[in-house]
Amino acid sequence: MTLKWKSAFAVMPVVLALAACGGNNATPSTSMAPGTAAPGASTAATQAPAKNVSLKFSFWGNDTHKKMYEDIIAKYKETHPHVSVEIVTIPFADYQQKLSIMTASKSAPDIAWLAERMIPQFLAGGQLADLEPLKKDSAYKFEDVIPSTLNLVTKDSKVYGIPFSTPPMMIYYNKTLFKAKNLPTPTELYKQGKWTYDEMLKAAKALTDSSKGVYGVNFVRNGWQNWPDALQSHFNAYGASIFSPDGNTFTLNSKEGELALQSYSDMIFKDKVHPKPGDQTTFDTGKIAMQKELFSYMGKAKAVKDFEWDIAPLPAGPNGPGTTLGYAAYTVMKDSPNYAEAVELLKFMTNPDNMKLTSQYFVPSRKSILESEEFFKQGPSAESVKLSVVDQMAKASSLPSHKNWQQIDTRMQTILDYLYTQSSPVKDVLSRAEKEVGPLLK
C-alpha cells in the first residue's frame, strides 16, 4: 500500500490526547521530587542514586551515524549517569528478520529504528510501545512534528514511533565526470524541464567507461537484496505499482510493470551502463557517475575529496518522476523492561536540538528544522537541497508496506534472481511474481 505524502509545510492541528500506557509497559515514576522527603522517610533515602539501567538501541546505519549517536548518548549521560546504552548495528538486509527473532525470544532492543516496510508487521503484532506521553511534555514541542509523517506510526489515534528520517530518493552525480565529457548535468537538465530517464540513459552511455570500471548509473543502494529502494521509484515513473490501493492484489504484472523492469534489465545487460548483480562499486570511489541514494548518504559524500559532486531530483518517466520517500522512525519495543527510561532517551534523541544535529544526515520530521537555514546548509548547496529534497517531498510517495512484508520481500528477492541471472525474460519473472506473491497479500 502506498501512502501519499501530504505537504511537508501544511502543519495540521495535532490532538493533544493524553493516554495511559497499557500492556506490559511500566509507567514513568510518579515519586515525589528529589529532595522532598515523604513523611517518616530519611533524607539519605530520598537522595539515593537512581538504579543503574542498561538500554539497547538497534539501527542499520554506518560508522558515521554510529559516532553521531555515541555523542548524543554521551550528552544524555551527563544528566542520566545511571543509564548505559549499547548500540546494536544490524545490516539492513537482515534487520527485519533479526528483529523479529529477537522480539519473539524476548531479547529485542529497548529502542529500535524501523523502516516503513517494517512498521506494519510490528504494529499489527502489538509489539510497539505507546508513546502518547510525549504529547504532554510542553518542552518536547510535539506539535512541531509534521502530522503527515506520523501516519505510518499511528494506530487508533495513538502514536507508536517518532520519525526522524523522511527523505525523497535523489541522484548523487559526479560533476567532475560530467565536466570531462562536456555534458549538461542532471541539475541543469532539471531546470530546463528535460531531466527524464531517456536523458539519464544518454548521459549514462556517454559516461560509462568499461576500461576504467566506470558505470554511468547505479540504482542499487544498501545491497542487491534491497530491491524496493532500487526499483520502486522506477515502477512509479512508469505508472506501475506492486499492490492495489487496498494492498490485497499484486498488480506489478502489467504492461507498465514490464516496461519498467525491462528498462532496468537493459541498463544492466544490454546497454551495460549499470553494475551487474553482486558488483559492490560505490559512488565515493569515483566509478559511478550517477547514484540513486537518500539524504543519509550525505555523510559519505562529504568525505569525498577526489572529485566534485552534487545532488539532483530523480528523472521523470512516462508517469512523472515517481519519487519515493525513505522513512525511518524511532520506536520503543513493548516488552522493554525499562520503558520509562527508553521513552526518556527517545524523547532526548528527537528533541529539537538533537533532530537539528541528526539532520546533517537525515531529513527531519520537525517543521522548524526542515525550514531552517541550518538544514539548507547540510547539502552541497542551499539550491541543491531545495531542488532535490524540499521541493520533491510534497510530490513523493512512501515505499510499499504490508503486514506480511517480510515474506513478500524474501519471495521477491528469490524471484528477481531469475532476472539477475538472465534465467527468465522479464515477462516470465513478473508472471512468477504474481503467482507467488499474490497469495501473500490476502
Q: Residue 377: how many CB atoms within 10 A of its CB?
A: 11
Residues 426 and 294 in one domain: yes
Q: Is the pLDDT of residue 228 over 70?
A: yes
pLDDT tier at 102, thresholds 50, 70, 90: very high
**What digits encode the pLDDT tens for the residues 45-83?**
445 567 899 999 999 988 999 999 999 999 999 999 999
Q: Residue 108: how many CB atoms within 10 A of its CB?
A: 23
Q: Is the pLDDT of residue 230 over 70?
A: yes
CA–CA distances in Å: residue 339 to residues 126, 331, 345, 346:
15, 11, 10, 10
Parallel/antiparallel/unpaired status of strands 154-155 and 158-159 = antiparallel
pLDDT at 32: 32
Residues 364 and 424 in one domain: no
Residues 376 and 416 in one domain: no
Residues 269 and 238 in one domain: yes
- Residue 11 exposure: Cα atoms within 13 Å on the Cβ side: 13
Parallel/antiparallel/unpaired status of strands 397-398 and 158-159 = unpaired
Is residue 131 assigned to a domain? yes
Residues 282 and 161 in one domain: no
When pLDDT is averaged across residues 230-239 and rounded to a whole number, the result is 95
Is residue 246 assigned to a domain? yes
pLDDT tier at 136, thresholds 50, 70, 90: confident
Residues 105 and 199 in one domain: no
pLDDT at 49: 63
pLDDT at 46: 45
**pLDDT-above-90 percentage for the chain:** 74
Q: Is the pLDDT of residue 27 over 60?
A: no
Phi, psi of 353 (to 5 degrees): -65, -45
Residues 209 and 86 in one domain: no
Sign of dihedral through CA atoms 383, 315, 120, 225?
Answer: negative
**What digits encode the pLDDT tens for the residues 403-412?**
888 899 999 9
Number of continuous H segments (helices) and E segments (strands) in the chain:
18, 13
Residue 90's domain comprises 51-167+326-397
Asked if 60 and 113 touch (Cβ cutoff 8 Å), the reply is yes
Asked if 376 and 382 touch (Cβ cutoff 8 Å), the reply is yes
Is residue 105 assigned to a domain? yes
pLDDT tier at 296, thresholds 50, 70, 90: confident
Asked which of 3-12, 50-59, 165-174 is least confident by mean pLDDT, the reply is: 3-12
pLDDT at 192: 97
Indicate the SS3 state at residue 123.
helix
Is residue 36 assigned to a domain? no
Which uninterrupted H or E stretch holds 236? Answer: helix 227-237
State the alpha helices, DSSP H only, in 371-425.
Answer: 373-376, 382-385, 391-393, 405-420
Beta strands in 133-287 (DSSP E): 154-155, 158-159, 162-165, 170-174, 215-218
Find, among 137, 134, 90, the residue nearest to 115 by Cα.
90
Phi, psi of 192 (to 5 degrees): -85, -5
pLDDT at 402: 83
pLDDT at 1: 39
Residues 161 and 85 in one domain: yes
Is residue 299 assigned to a domain? yes
Asked if 351 and 140 touch (Cβ cutoff 8 Å), the reply is yes
Q: Is the pLDDT of residue 19 over 60?
A: no
Indicate the SS3 state at residue 166.
coil
CA–CA distances in Å: residue 172 to residues 285, 295, 311, 333, 346:
13, 9, 4, 35, 31
CA 18 to chain centre: 29
**What mean pLDDT is reported for the chain?**
88
Q: Is the pLDDT of residue 42 over 70?
A: no
**pLDDT-above-70 percentage for the chain:** 89
Q: What CATH number should be reported for the domain holding residue 228?
A: 3.40.190.10
Find, among 323, 294, 308, the residue nearest to 396 by Cα.
323
When pLDDT is averaged across residues 183-199 and rounded to a whole number, the result is 98
Is residue 8 assigned to a domain? no
Sign of dihedral through CA atoms 289, 293, 294, 300?
Answer: negative
Residues 270 and 355 in one domain: no
pTM: 0.76
Residues 192 and 277 in one domain: yes
pLDDT at 48: 55
**What digits encode the pLDDT tens for the residues 413-434?**
999 999 999 999 999 999 999 9
Provide the number of structural domains found in the chain. 2
Indicate the SS3 state at residue 198.
helix
Residues 258 and 341 in one domain: no
Is residue 10 assigned to a domain? no
Is residue 6 assigned to a domain? no
Residues 343 and 198 in one domain: no
d(CA 159, CA 147): 11
